[in-house]
Structure 1
Amino acid sequence: MLSKNLSVGQVVESTSGRDIGRLFFIIKVVDDQYVLISDGKKRKLDQPKLKKVKHLKRYNVINNEVKNKILSCEYLTDAFLRAQLTKLDLSV
């Protein structure tokens, strides 16, 4: 399904729920239907949001800094996630 196209560190946008229109990073791909997402502001790293893949709009942007920190189990902060999201220019 869609999770084959999803990767840790990828930028996604919520298309349903209370967080509609917000940008997030994928923190973990749980299975083919669910991922854990965080933005460092409303959804912090200590409590990422479990979200269905069908409720996400996928961007072809993978932040390698975030991806490498997650995969190598380096210390990752909410402030770092917020800074990386503000650097993005996602002209649709």
Structure 2
Amino acid sequence: MEGVALGQIVHSRAGRDKDRYFIVVGIIDENYVLISDGDLRKIDNPKKKKIKHLVFHNRFAEDIAERLRNKKNISDADLRKSLQSMGLL
């Protein structure tokens, strides 16, 4: 689980969502994380994804990570806005 953090930008390398960018919104264990992009996968129903099927980037959605750590509400629009500001959506 080294190198995985809340708010981290990832993209899928396997499955139907291949080559789409997501934000890590939850960490389940050393093999799985929860990802969401506010479009295909809403924050209310994040995708449980194996870590080995993801490519992790050294980019973070700091505003989203801070809100996740403080247990504040996050909207789908917040996720989309963060990904759009990085040019990933």
Q: When the two structures are aligned, how many residues end up with a matched partner?
A: 88
Counterpart selection for 1:20 from 7, 18, 21:
18
Shift of the 42–89 alpha-carbon distance from structure 1 to 2, 3 Å rule, reads: closer
Normalising to structure 1: TM-score of the pair?
A: 0.92
Please state whether the residue corresponding to 2:72 is helix, strand or coil. Answer: coil
Please state whether the residue corresponding to 1:5 is helix, strand or coil. Answer: coil
Structure 1 counterpart of 2:9, one-letter code = V
After superposition, the C-alpha distances for 1:26-49 in whole angstroms (9 at most, x for unaligned) are 001110000000000010011000
Aligned to 1:60: 58
Structure 2 counterpart of 1:11, one-letter code = I
The share of aligned pairs that are identical, in percent, is: 39
RMSD: 1.0
Give me the whole-angstrom Cα distance separating, in 1, the residues matched to 2:63 and 2:23. 12
Structure 2 counterpart of 1:55, one-letter code = H
The structure 1 segments of at least 4 consecutive aligned residues displaced by more than 2 Å after TM superposition are none
Give me the whole-angstrom Cα distance separating, in 2, the residues matched to 1:56 and 1:34. 10
Aligned to 1:51: 49
- Gap regions ≥5 residues in structure 1: none
Structure 2 counterpart of 1:54, one-letter code = K
* Residue 87 of structure 2 corresponds to residue 82 of structure 1: no
Cα deviation, residue 89, structure 1? 4.2
Structure 1 counterpart of 2:66, one-letter code = N
Counterpart selection for 1:41 from 39, 42, 46:
39
Give me the whole-angstrom Cα distance separating, in 2, the residues matched to 1:69 and 1:22. 23
- Gap regions ≥5 residues in structure 2: none
Normalising to structure 2: TM-score of the pair?
A: 0.95
